[in-house]
Amino acid sequence: MHIFLANPRGFCAGVNMAIRTLEAAIVRFGLPLYVYHEIVHNTWIVEDFKSRGVKFVSSIDETPEGSRLMFSAHGVAPDIRVIAEQKKIETIDATCPLVAKVHHEVLRYAKENYTIILIGHSGHDEVIGTMNEAPDSIILVERESDIYDLEFDSSEKLVVLTQTTLSVTETQSMIDALRRRFPQVVSELNANICYATQHRQEAIAALAPLVDIVLIVGSGNSSNSKRLAERGKSLGIKSILIDGADNIDLNWFKGDEKVLISAGASAPEYVVQDCVKLLQKNFNATVEERQTCTDSLSFQSPID
């Protein structure tokens, strides 16, 4: 067996910043410490912080008056900030700056009387936060078929924004469909899909054709991890999303395969290495890192 390790893979700048911020907050402020939703969408990270006493809440009602609350990398709706202030909760904002940028764009376009077509997944933490910046000005579109249900006058000002962790190819095809139907629509190439999502998908596109099977390390609720597995499948390569080495079924392999391993932006490197070790132990696998581009961004923590 030969393993190609995709590079870049795993943690992005936003996830790094959010995890660093939570680590620093534990040291600086101690417990109790609350986090609104999962700090990042990864089982290992969340379970580790839980075991150290951090409390994850899914509603602001679960956060006591006067407590300390961190907002996750996915951002929050503005009304959550207002309620937190009313409850005299001390907040630490670990929203990824690239998500915050989308919030600012929503506010700017809404103020300029645009109707915002947001491409994203209903119910995702990031989409909930983004839509609530200007709920009366935003329409969510999840799939290409939704576009054919939209009705706008040619005089209506329209702009497309997106969730940060979508499939680059599917989103571009949806933007093209929107442009055909509503030529006045304002949009940028790939809109708001972040650099980390793009780089990891590009690596899969370049390397998956070299292998028999693709393993993506990431949790089932991680949007960018799921998109990586889908990218591999779209190229006709068997591609499987795994939370960790325990999810690997050795029967998937005969032992002479070429395997590509990558990881979503919230998946820790030690989980990737556990998977590599398992395959080395059972199939005497050799390992080769393949770099397709360089991630060079980093973000400062709000409590650095």
C-beta atoms surrounding 181 within 10 Å: 14
State yes or no: residue 185 binds ligand SF4 (CB under 6 A).
no
Smallest gap from residue 10 Cβ to ligand SF4 (A): 11
Query: 102 or 237, CB closer to ligand SF4?
Result: 102
State yes or no: residue 96 binds ligand SF4 (CB under 6 A).
yes
State how far the Cα of 193 lies from the Cα of 163, in Å rounded to an integer: 7
Nearest in space to 157 (alpha carbons), one of 114, 109, 106, 108? 114
Query: 91 or 164, CB closer to ligand SF4?
Result: 164
Smallest gap from residue 165 Cβ to ligand SF4 (A): 5
Query: 12 or 141, CB closer to ligand SF4?
Result: 12
Task: Indicate the burial class of 153 (C-beta count within 10 angstroms; 0-12, 13-18, 19 or more).
Answer: exposed
Q: Per this entry, what is the length of the chain?
A: 304
In the set 23, 105, 112, 126, the catalytic residue is 126
State yes or no: residue 14 binds ligand SF4 (CB under 6 A).
yes
Element (H, E) at 263: strand 258-263
State yes or no: residue 161 binds ligand SF4 (CB under 6 A).
no
Which stretch in 7-15, 20-28, 86-94, 144-152 sits in contact with ligand SF4 by CB under 6 A?
7-15
Active site residue 126: yes
State how far the Cα of 57 lies from the Cα of 67, in Å rounded to an integer: 13
Which stretch in 11-19, 149-157, 209-217, 242-250 sits in contact with ligand SF4 by CB under 6 A?
11-19
Pairing status of strand 158-162 against strand 138-141: unpaired
State how far the Cα of 53 lies from the Cα of 48, in Å rounded to an integer: 9
**Tokens describing residue 258:** 């070429």
Which stretch in 95-103, 113-121, 175-183, 238-246 sits in contact with ligand SF4 by CB under 6 A?
95-103
- List the one residue from 73, 77, 84, 260 that touches ligand SF4 (CB under 6 A): 73
State yes or no: residue 15 binds ligand SF4 (CB under 6 A).
yes
State how far the Cα of 297 lies from the Cα of 292, in Å rounded to an integer: 16
Which stretch in 43-51, 174-182, 194-202, 229-237 sits in contact with ligand SF4 by CB under 6 A?
194-202
- Per-residue interface string for the shown chain with ligand SF4, residues 101-140, x marking contact by CB under 6 A: ----------------------------------------
Query: 115 or 224, CB closer to ligand SF4?
Result: 224
Nearest in space to 225 (alpha carbons), one of 267, 276, 271? 267
Residue 20 CA to its chain's centroid (Å): 17
SS3 (DSSP) at 190: coil
Q: What residues act catalytically?
A: 126
